[in-house]
Amino acid sequence: MISATKPFVKFHRYDQELASDIQALNASGYHKDDIWVLKWNPDKNHSNQRDNYYKYSTHFESAVGNIDSKAHFFDNGGEELRTRLEKLGLTKDEASALVRELQETDYTCLLVVRDLKDNIIKMND
């Protein structure tokens, strides 16, 4: 069942901070079904963008810990990310804006949390 409220979205790098945020969510009672890590993978896009391939494939950061058991992990191209964000409760325009920003910044993934309460994890600066 999809919630009527918008999910919380945080830009991330696939690194220790992401693993720490997921651990904090799990410790606060959030389950795997409420937590999604959406990683943009330019190899799965139709366009061949050398700069993005270099940025995401050659210098891929490693997250510490077993994230797969604590959150859903989605690794795909732009169109698939937009579709997944819409399924998680965002509008088509919101999803497109987030994917575009993800592609234009040095972030590599989005952390999406359904019904986030309190200040369990730190917001982006």
Model's pTM, two decimal places? Answer: 0.80
Q: Would you state the pLDDT for residue 56? A: 46
Q: How would residue 87 be classed by pLDDT, with cut points 50, 70 and 90?
A: very high
Question: Would the pLDDT of 49 be above 70?
Answer: no
CB of 67 closer than 8 Å to CB of 37: yes
Q: Delimit the domains of the chain by residue range.
A: 8-113
Question: Would the pLDDT of 48 be above 50?
Answer: no
Average pLDDT over residues 24-43: 91
Q: In terms of C-beta distances under 8 Å and separation of at least 24 residues, what long-range contacts does 27-33 make, across chains too?
A: 28/118, 28/120, 30/113, 30/120, 32/69, 32/70, 32/71, 32/72, 33/72, 33/114
